[in-house]
Amino acid sequence: MNVTQHDAQSPSRGDQLMQPEPGQQNGRRPWPVIVTRHLVKTYVLGETNVHALRGVSLKIYPSEFVAIMGPSGSGKSSFMNLIGCLDHPTSGDYFLAGMPVSRLRPDDLADIRNRRIGFVFQSFNLLVRDTALTNVMLPMMYAGFSGKEQERRARRALQLVGLGDRTSHLPTQLSGGEQQRVAIARALVNSPSLLLADEPTGNLDSRTSLEIMAVLQSLNERGITIIIVTHNPEVAVYARRQVEMRDGRIVSDEPVTAMRSAQADWSAAVKSTSTTGDMRIQEETQ
């Protein structure tokens, strides 16, 4: 199966594989990119069952920007791992762009995971002896791209996160926010339509968190669906929708009524502390 960027927008595959929700097929709303139905995840540790997810049902539409919130241990990472096809649910259904993930063959699942989804984690996991460019090229090294194509994609991804002029820097020559931006660029090299970020601002101070949210907002404006995990309400105001989890369940799901510009707030924060850090997200060049 060859999953293309085009598929992400097209319901044709989903038409065959997913029963439409009642009343939805005639509406104007696009098809959801993610549908979970009563997802349950129980980890078995020896004699103990850990009930991480107790039935999570959620729909996420293309181009949404969702913040998943909740206290530590509430199941946020378990849910993200399922959405990212990194783990299997104990029970329940998951449809990704209309495809029932549980029924996909391992090869197809790997294909979807690699082409459609980008991951960003809390720790940057950058190789300290390699430049920003090489760090971003790493995931492509075994994907059969020519060296030239790897470099082209990596440069473009770095431009998308505003680091087009930092390609030769080593991680130690970059700020914490810039290092996290390199990790985001690394997640963008396959042009995913869905970006998952588990606590991407978790280790960052509040000003640097704004910098990361500004990058994510600009990617979202380009149409990428974004789901981030954060325990921090100050970070979540820059999303468009806030989903809150408690004890393995969704306890609230609300749109953000007055979404703020992280870029504006970040610029103001940078000015007030009179340090450098103008971030212009550069337009890509062909």
Instruction: Pick the piece of the chain touching ligand ADP (CB under 6 A) from 74-82, 126-134, 169-177, 183-191.
Output: 74-82
Which of ligand ADP, Mg ion, none interacts with 128 (beta carbon under 5 to 8 A by kind)? none
Residue (of 223, 218, 224, 199) closest to 209 by Cα position: 199
CB of 42 vs ligand ADP, minimal distance in Å: 9
Which residue type, as a one-letter code, is found at position 194? L
Question: How far from the centroid of its chain's Cα atoms is residue 239's Cα?
Answer: 12
* Dist. CA 231–CA 74, nearest whole Å: 10
* Dist. CA 260–CA 263, nearest whole Å: 9
Minimum CB distance to ligand ADP smaller for 87 or for 108: 87
CB of 208 vs Mg ion, minimal distance in Å: 19
73 is a contact residue toward ligand ADP (CB under 6 A)? yes
Q: Both tokens of residue 106?
A: 């391992």
In Å, how far are 11, 166, 188, 196, 256 from 238, measured between CA atoms? 29, 26, 20, 15, 8
Could you tell me how many residues of this chain bind Mg ion (CB under 5 A)?
Answer: 2
Q: Which of 34, 60, 65, 74 binds ligand ADP (CB under 6 A)?
A: 74
78 is a contact residue toward ligand ADP (CB under 6 A)? yes
CB of 83 vs ligand ADP, minimal distance in Å: 12
Which of ligand ADP, Mg ion, none interacts with 70 (beta carbon under 5 to 8 A by kind)? ligand ADP
Q: Is 257 exposed, middle or buried (0-12, 13-18, 19+ CB in 10 A)?
A: exposed
* Dist. CA 66–CA 179, nearest whole Å: 23
Contact present, 197 and 228 (Cβ < 8 Å):
yes
* Dist. CA 242–CA 234, nearest whole Å: 12
36 is a contact residue toward Mg ion (CB under 5 A)? no
Question: What counts of helices (H) and strands (E) characterise the chain?
Answer: 10, 10
* Dist. CA 93–CA 103, nearest whole Å: 10
Minimum CB distance to Mg ion smaller for 77 or for 159: 77
81 is a contact residue toward Mg ion (CB under 5 A)? no
5-64 binders of ligand ADP (CB under 6 A): 43, 45, 50, 52
CB of 14 vs Mg ion, minimal distance in Å: 30
* Dist. CA 232–CA 201, nearest whole Å: 9
CB of 32 vs ligand ADP, minimal distance in Å: 22
CB of 248 vs ligand ADP, minimal distance in Å: 7
50-79 binders of Mg ion (CB under 5 A): 76-77
Binding site for ligand ADP (CB under 6 A): 43, 45, 50, 52, 70, 72-78
